[in-house]
Chain A
Amino acid sequence: MASFATKIKVKQSGGTALVLTLVKHPMETGQRVDKKTKQKIPAHYIQKMTFEVSGKQVAEANLGPAVSKDPLVGVQVKNAKKGDKVKVSWTDNKGNRGSAEETVQ
């Protein structure tokens, strides 16, 4: 049940790499009400997402519950070289974590 597929895609052109990350995550706000039980569905969302290039952190995103379900997050990295390893890792408010890695082509 609790599997959060994490995908990463790196597109490089002219030394600038666009890093796109897609995580299969419910991103529950904590404000929705379950129609059957009339109870609030507890909040469950990704809070932190860090991007690393060759072991060095380049960006750290803070996400709130207002980010959509199955969030897509993108950042751009300059001076990306072929063979650089790009890694993304995230943690959510329930302590789940995930990561994905991709090499710049």
Chain B
Amino acid sequence: MNTMKRRSFLKGTLAGGVVAVAATSGLLRPAEVLAASWPKNAFTAKSVENALKDLFGTSATTASDAIKITAPIQAENGAVVPITASTTLPNVEAIAVVVEKNPSPLAASVDLTGASGYFRTKMKLGQTSPVHVVVKSGGKLYSAKQEIKVTTGGCGG
């Protein structure tokens, strides 16, 4: 039984390796073909500024009271931290959730083309970190932040 598992595991990793090689060599880019406009650079950026620059073209934000963040102040489990962002700003084009201390700070973003200024998700926090919510409204960026304390990390599993 154990050997069987090991066999299929090896096969799995080998196949995965082939796809990875093909992807890096540019022969086949499954993710990019399927999600052509997924902002890869923004999601791999290592700082809040770079993530915002890649996503919105600028990192200049204005603090705003019109953004409401609903999230726990202290999270028991960093692997699942619910967050709800809502705003009363007009003409909301996009909302991004950025966790400052995560290895790649950008957690999620949403482009709104008809839906109102609201976004809800659950995210992982590696450690206690300020969480920024950035709202793009009328071509400008507005932000709000809240510190979320984490007692156990979310990246170790």
Contacts and interface: CB of A to CB of B under 8 A. Distances in A.
Interface of A: 16, 18, 20, 29, 31-32, 37, 39, 42, 47-48, 51, 53, 56-69, 71-78, 91, 93-95, 97
Contacts of A72: 82, 120-122
B124 to A, nearest CB: 5
Contacts of B39: 62
Given A64-B108, A65-B104, A32 B124 contact: no
A40 B81 CA distance: 24
Nearest to B20: A42
Q: What secondary structure prevails in chain A residues at the interface with B?
A: strand
B42 to A, nearest CB: 8
Interface of B: 9, 13, 16, 30-31, 34-35, 38-39, 42-43, 79-82, 84, 86, 99, 102-104, 106-124, 154-157
A91 B35 contact: yes
Given A68-B124, A74-B84, A74-B120, A59 B107 contact: no
Contacts of B31: 47, 93-95
B115 A32 contact: no
Contact of A69 (B79, B82, B117): B79
Given A37-B9, A62-B43, A95-B30, A67 B114 contact: no
A75 B115 contact: yes
A31 B38 CA distance: 20
20 contacts: A18-B118, A20-B120, A29-B155, A32-B156, A39-B13, A47-B34, A47-B38, A58-B112, A58-B113, A59-B113, A62-B39, A62-B110, A72-B122, A73-B119, A74-B84, A74-B120, A75-B115, A75-B118, A78-B115, A95-B31
Given A32-B157, A64-B43, A68-B80, A58 B120 contact: no
Nearest to B5: A36
Contacts of A75: 110, 112, 115, 118-120
B91 to A, nearest CB: 13
Given A32-B155, A48-B35, 18 more contacts: A31-B155, A32-B156, A59-B113, A60-B110, A61-B109, A61-B110, A61-B111, A62-B38, A62-B111, A64-B107, A66-B102, A68-B79, A73-B121, A74-B84, A75-B118, A78-B115, A93-B31, A95-B30
